[in-house]
Structure 1
Amino acid sequence: MAALTTDDSVVLASATGPTLGDTDFRFLRDFVLQHCGISLGEHKRQLVQGRLLRRLRALGLSGFGAYCELLRKDPDGELGELASCISTNVTSFFREMHHYDLLVDDLLPRWLEEKRGGKLRIWSAGCSTGEEPYALAMVLAEALERLGSSVDAKILATDLSPQALEAARKGVYALDRLSGVSDARRKRWFLRGQGAYEGLACVHPRLRELVTIQPLNLLHEWPMRGPFDAIFCRNVVIYFDKPTKQRLFSRYADMIGSRGYLFLGHSESMYGLSDDFDLVGRTVYRKRQ
C-alpha cells in the first residue's frame, strides 16, 4: 500500500469535495491580489475553498488545480465569477443615511442650480446588486421634480460581479429588502408584484432611466472620461491593500470635477493615503482645487 503523498500539488478529496492545497491557494492568492487588489491571508483559505467549491461544480471541474489552470488560460473570462465567489455583497437601500441627507439638503439643490442646461454625473463604483444606485436615483429624481431642473442627470453603476450586475439590471427585490425605504418612497418608486411575483417589488421605470449599469474592474482601464460630480465607493476599498487604495484614490481624483465629492464606507478612511481630498463630513471627502 503506497503512502499518502503530502505533495500540495495533489488534490485530495474530502467528504464534501476537493481540498485547496498550498500551491493552488498561493496561486489564487497572488491572482486575486493582482487582478482584484484583494489580499487573502492564510486564515481565508477555508472560506475560499468553501465558496469556490460551488464554482468547481458549476464548471464540472475535478479540483482546484483544474480551476487554477482555467484562470491561467483565460483570466479575464473567469475573473468576474471568481470575484463574485470571494466577495461579500452586503448592501441595502439608503445605507449610511447621512450621505443621502447631504445630497438632499445641500449638494443636489446646489448642483442643479449651478448646472442648468448642463450635465450632472454620479458614479456608484461597486454597486453590488443595485440598491445604492437606485437609492441615489430616488433622491435625484425627487430633486429634479422638486426644482423643475433641466439638468442632464445620470448615474453610472459598475461592479465586477456578473451575478450582482444581473440582479441590479433586473431591479427586483424581496419586500423585506426595502426596510430602509420610507413608505412614501415605496409607493412612489416601486411596483409591487402580484400573483407569481407576490412578495417582490420592482423599481420604477423612471429610476431605470437615470441609472446605467456596466461591468467594470476598478483595477483595469476605465472607458469613461468623466468628470463626475460625486463618486460613491463605499465598503469596497476595505478589501484592498494600501498600494491599491493609493492608486485608486489617485485615479478617482482624476475623474472627479473641481470640488467634487468622494463618499466612502463607514469603516473606511483616506487618512495617509491621498493628498487630493479634504475630509468634510463623516466619510465624505471633497476634492481640493
Structure 2
Amino acid sequence: MMQGEKEFAYTRADFDRVRKLLYQLTRIHLADSKDSMVYSRLVRRLRALKLSGFSQYLQYVQEHEDEVQCFINSLTTNLTSFFREPHHFDILADYLREHKVQRIWCAASSTGEEPYSIAITVAETLGSFKNGIEIIASDIDSGALQTAQNGIYDEERIKSFSADRRKNFFLRGKGAQAGRVKVVAELSRMVSFRKINLTDRHWGIEGPLDIIFCRNVMIYFNKETQLEILEKMVGLLKPQGLYIAGHSENFSHATHLVRHLGRTTYHPALVQPA
C-alpha cells in the first residue's frame, strides 16, 4: 500500500488492524480492495479527534465505548436510493394483492429510502396509509437511522417520481429548506426504526413475518455468517413468506433454507417429510 501524499501515515498493517476490529465488532469482512475507502472514511475521525495516526485512533476506539459506534458508522456502506432494484417493488405489490400481509422487516434500511419505498408501495397498492401493516426498519448505523427517522432528502432523490407520487408522499421545503423534501407524517408513521446488528444473538424481532427485505448486506459476511443469519431470518418467516435479497447475492449454497423464486426472491424451503 502506497502512502503517497496522504495526510497521515497509513500502512497495510493499519488496514489489517482496522478490518480485524470491524470483523470482531460486526463480523463484516472488508475485502483487500477497500483499503483506500478505509483511509478516506477514518481520516475524518482522526482530524475530528486531533489524533496523530491510525494506531492512536484504534487504541482510542478500544478505550472509548462511544467511539465504537462512530467507527462502525464510518465503515458501513450506505449506498441506497428510492425504489432501487425496482422489480422487487413490483413483486411486493403483487404479493400484497395475493396475501394478507401484516408485518414486513427491512433489515438493512440505511438512510431510509428502502423502507419508505416499501411503505409507498404498500400505501399505493392498498389505497391507504392506514392499512394495518407493520413495517420494521433496522440498521447497524445509528447515523443512517437518524437520517431515516428525519425523512428529509434532497429533492433530486425523487426527481424520477410521478407528480402524484411526489404530491402524495412528500412535502417540499421552503426558505432555508428549499431543494429538500420531507416524507409526509402519514408515511413516516407506517415505519418504525430500530438499531440492530444482524450478527447479534438476539434481534428483538419475533415472528411470524410475511416479508423480509435483506438486500445487499449479506455480501459483507462470509458464507458461514450468511448461513447463520439466513437461518434465523427464515425461521421468522411464515411458510409462504417472502425473502428478498440483493442483485449481487445468491443462496445456491442454502437450498436447505430457501427456495429460489427468481429475480433474487425466495420462499422458505419446504420441510421434507421424514
TM-score if structure 1 supplies the norm length?
0.85
Distance 1:236 1:174, change over 3 A: same
Using the TM superposition, give the Cα deviation of residue 95 of structure 1 relative to its aligned residue in structure 2, in angstroms: 1.1
Using the TM superposition, give the Cα deviation of residue 80 of structure 1 relative to its aligned residue in structure 2, in angstroms: 3.1
Mapping of 1:203-218 within 5 angstroms? 203-218=183-198
Q: Which of 242-251 and 24-33 deviates more?
A: 24-33
Aligned partner of 1:186 in structure 2 is: 166
Contact 1:95 1:180 in 2 (8 A): no
Aligned partner of 1:123 in structure 2 is: 105
Structure showing greater radius of gyration is 1
SS at match of 1:18: coil
Runs of 4+ aligned residues of structure 1 deviating over 4 Å after TM superposition are 13-16
Question: Any unmatched runs of 5+ in structure 1?
Answer: 1-12
Tell me the alpha carbon deviations over residues 215-251 of structure 1, each in whole angstroms, 9 at most, x when there is no partner.
Answer: 1111113112122111111111122221111111111
SS at match of 2:252: coil
Q: What one-letter code is carried by the residue in structure 1 that aligns with 2:84?
A: R
Distance 1:179 1:88, change over 3 A: farther
CA distance in 1, matches of 2:192, 2:236: 17
Aligned length: 267
Question: Any unmatched runs of 5+ in structure 2?
Answer: none
Aligned partner of 2:14 in structure 1 is: 24
Contact 2:123 2:131 in 1 (8 A): no
Tell me the alpha carbon deviations over residues 115-152 of structure 1, each in whole angstroms, 9 at most, x when there is no partner.
Answer: 6xxxx111111111100100111111223336x9x863
Tell me the alpha carbon deviations over residues 137-176 of structure 1, each in whole angstroms, 9 at most, x when there is no partner.
Answer: 1111223336x9x863111111111221111011011111
Mapping of 1:43-192 within 5 angstroms? 43-74=33-64, 77-104=66-93, 106-112=94-100, 120-145=102-127, 152-192=132-172
Aligned partner of 1:252 in structure 2 is: 233
Aligned partner of 1:275 in structure 2 is: 256
SS at match of 1:17: coil
CA distance in 2, matches of 1:49, 1:274: 38
CA distance in 1, matches of 2:255, 2:50: 45
Q: What one-letter code is carried by the residue in structure 2 that aligns with 1:137?
A: A
CA distance in 1, matches of 2:227, 2:88: 23
Distance 1:226 1:19, change over 3 A: farther
Contact 1:94 1:181 in 2 (8 A): no
Using the TM superposition, give the Cα deviation of residue 38 of structure 1 relative to its aligned residue in structure 2, in angstroms: 2.2
Using the TM superposition, give the Cα deviation of residue 265 of structure 1 relative to its aligned residue in structure 2, in angstroms: 0.9
Tell me the alpha carbon deviations over residues 197-232 of structure 1, each in whole angstroms, 9 at most, x when there is no partner.
Answer: 111111011111110011111111311212211111
Contact 1:93 1:181 in 2 (8 A): no
Question: Pick from 28, 34, 37: which aligns with 2:24?
Answer: 34
Using the TM superposition, give the Cα deviation of residue 78 of structure 1 relative to its aligned residue in structure 2, in angstroms: 3.3
Using the TM superposition, give the Cα deviation of residue 15 of structure 1 relative to its aligned residue in structure 2, in angstroms: 5.2
Using the TM superposition, give the Cα deviation of residue 63 of structure 1 relative to its aligned residue in structure 2, in angstroms: 1.8
